[in-house]
Amino acid sequence: MWNSCTNHDSLINSGNSETRSGATMSQGNKTYGEEEGEEDETLAMTGVDEDDDDDDDDDLDTFTDGDLDSGCEDGVLGCRDPFSSEVKPRILLMGLRRSGKSSIQKVVFHKMSPNETLFLESTNKICREDVSNSSFVNFQIWDFPGQIDFFDPTFDYEMIFRGTGALIFVIDSQDDYVEALSRLHLTVTRAYKVNPDINFEVFIHKVDGLSDDHKIEKQRDIQKRANDDLVDAALERIHLSFYLTSIYDHSIFEAFSKVVQKLIPELPTLENLLNIFTTNSAIEKAFLFDVVSKIYIATDSSPVDMQTYELCCDMIDVVIDISCIYGVTGDEGGIPYDKESMAIIRLNSTTVMYLKEVTKFLALVCFLREESFERKGLIDYNFHCFRKAIQEVFEVRLKVLWSRKLLSQRRRSRQATPNGTPRAPS
Amino acid sequence: MRSIIFANYIARDTRRLGATIDVEHSHVRFLGNLVLNLWDCGGQDTFMENYFTSQRDNIFRNVEVLIYVFDVESRELEKDMHYYQSCLEAILQNSPDAKVFCLVHKMDLVQEDQRDLIFKEREDDLKRLSRPLECTCFRTSIWDETLYKAWSSIVYQLIPNVQQLETNLRNFAQIIEADEVLLFERATFLVISHYQCKEQRDAHRFEKISNIIKQFKLSCSKLAASFQSMEVRNSNFAAFIDVFTSNTYVMVIMSDPSIPSAATLINIRNARKHFEKLERVDGPKHSLHMRMR
């Protein structure tokens, strides 16, 4: 468990108790101390997994650049982008054909209008797509055309499952879901055997056509059946979360937000930072949004109102759209969302919405009253501190992961010498 | 279409609309003092026959603008064209000075790569059929910004003192050193006038902006709020959207990042009084809107 405090030192010392990006560690003692001995010990357990990740580097793009040795020696981590795909949660999207997986991916991450998804063609072969460079979330869609062949040598399922934080299974609620449920059961049991830490999420999709009562009824039915299947297989330990979603409204974004939040180990720290910021600046509500996908990865402790969330999504849309039209310089390298991005929208109900850039992928969207906004200078200063703190939080994580990688590499090269003498890292 | 432009529907809500029975009259206030009489005529055959016989003089007299909507997916092209021609004849007889606009609608139902081709075909056909009258054709869909482009152009023709507005906007823009200044009508957010001092990359930006802001206004209304003003910045530009006169909104684009927001906002506020005086009334106009099933 993270201590919920923002002290930089204590963040480093309390260690990385929940690992998500790739390594399965035993459920026991996970403290990662600064002493050599402890480090080696913990690394011995993770070494194996790190190797597997390395092998699959080209496919999985777990690290941004292929060259692992550069920068490792001098220990310079500043040159690395602190928001490389190393730090991002990995999510798999699976389900039967025509359940809506590609549409979900397009609507959430590629800003496609839901109506245009009608023209998307069926995915015919095992298809994998990465959305790691433009968004905070490292996301892969796995689309299977027919029966899952778990023995197909082209794709190493075990490797993939081991490196996954969450598995989303999409069920088409408008169709007969008996087959979907059996596939769900098969997938979940398979994945659980490989990596018991995966979060299993079930999206009950295409609910836009159903009435509210109908939705609840369907959810209850699917939930019961899926859990019954698991009990029958003596796997009650597996926990499934269910969400009602549709690409025609904001429910898909809300569901995704919840899925992603479970995968961020720094979440309590981020929430605490947001709380401190909002109380000191007299802000009513604040969200930390991933700009591309409009998923929010953290919010302060006040209750979340769906409509407020939707309004924030719409505000981000407006800001990005206008920036695309006017804010991009002629050359290819222009991006609409950059360091200076900010927006202020005044609503007539004396509420002000304020958006500020936090990192390359993240933005802070807050709601405050007109009177509070008069002290904009103070709010901006607080925001400046907040932004620095957020960047430090992510940098710490990156340093931890990089050190781990470095050490596992050294360990590997040490183990590889034939005559037993330790070899210097190349 | 009428619901979206004039009555603040979002595209999805229009599924609930029923067929228009006979003629639906509405008076729309536009630019405060202008009143548009919108006649939405139902497209079913019986109504169409009716218009050309008994109601002919009533409907086609005193028309400033005829807007004819074609469904791109219609299976009865011959009949559509026949009705269209009857309309044109009636117009020639009763209001020969009317401007004619043809909207090729529901373009979203056509595959993207075929849209240009199909539209070009239709446009050529229609222009040929319309002689001696001139018709302007647009391709539209309620699901994107093409709708706004068509209606902006139509509405632009109806504004009485458009030249004067443009001259004043130009002076304003030059004084405050803006890259571009747009003037929107308040209710519909259609661009009624603009000035740009340098070439902008995106030729369709007006309708896109109309679409963007309109969508946002609608989302705000769900929370029983409405947006009043907006400022968007990044390292390359700053955009300000604010209430201007009682009937218009203004959008100012600045590309000089060293100019503080406060300066631009004060300038906008000072310009308001001047533009208020420019708004004048010329008398109610009468437009005709026909609908094709």
The residue of chain B nearest to residue A351, with distances taken between CA atoms, is: B225
Please give the ipTM for the structure prediction: 0.72
Neighboring chain A residues of B216 at a CB cutoff of 8 Å: 314-315, 317-318
Rounded Cα gap, residues B199 and A153, in angstroms: 56
| Interface test with chain B among A326, A331, A353, by most B beta carbons within 10 Å | A326
Model confidence pLDDT, tens digit, residues A343-362: 999 988 788 999 999 988 88
Q: Report whether pLDDT(B154) > 80.
A: no
pTM over the 0.95 mark: no
- Is A327 in contact with B236 (Cβ distance < 8 A)? yes
- Ranges A387-391, B124-128, B145-149: which has the least confidence: B145-149
Model confidence pLDDT, tens digit, residues A257-298: 888 888 888 889 999 999 999 999 889 999 999 888 888 888
Q: How many CB atoms are closer than 10 A to CB B255?
A: 18
**8 A C-beta contact, residue B250 and residue B182:** yes
Full strand arrangement of the beta sheet holding A199-205: A127-130, A138-143, A90-95, A166-172, A199-205, A240-244
Rounded Cα gap, residues A367 and A354, in angstroms: 6
Tokens at A247, concatenated:
């690409």
Most confident of A117-126, A239-248, B66-75: A239-248
Neighboring chain A residues of B112 at a CB cutoff of 8 Å: 119
Neighboring chain A residues of B237 at a CB cutoff of 8 Å: 323, 326-327
- Is A317 in contact with B215 (Cβ distance < 8 A)? yes
Mean pLDDT computed over every residue of chain B? 76
Tokens at A105, concatenated:
């991916």
- Is A323 in contact with B112 (Cβ distance < 8 A)? no
Of A248, A323, A347, Cβ closest to residue B234: A323
Q: Report whether pLDDT(B144) > 80.
A: no
Q: Report whether pLDDT(A77) > 70.
A: no
Select from B242, B261, B236, B105 the least CA-distant residue to B176. Answer: B261
Question: Confidence band (pLDDT; 50, 70, 90) for B251?
Answer: very high
Containing B241, the helix (H) or strand (E) segment is strand B238-243
Check residue A151 and give its pLDDT.
56
Neighboring chain A residues of B108 at a CB cutoff of 8 Å: 115
- Is B201 in contact with A328 (Cβ distance < 8 A)? yes
* Cβ-based interface (< 8 Å): residues of B facing A: 12, 108, 111-112, 143-144, 179-180, 200-202, 205, 208-209, 212-213, 215-216, 219-220, 222-237, 239, 253, 257
Of B208, B222, B228, Cβ closest to residue A348: B228
Question: Confidence band (pLDDT; 50, 70, 90) for B128?
Answer: confident
Residue with more model confidence, A182 or B279: A182
Mapped onto helix, strand or coil, the DSSP state of residue A383 is helix
- Is A314 in contact with B219 (Cβ distance < 8 A)? yes
Count residue pairs from A and B with Cβ separation < 8 A. 104
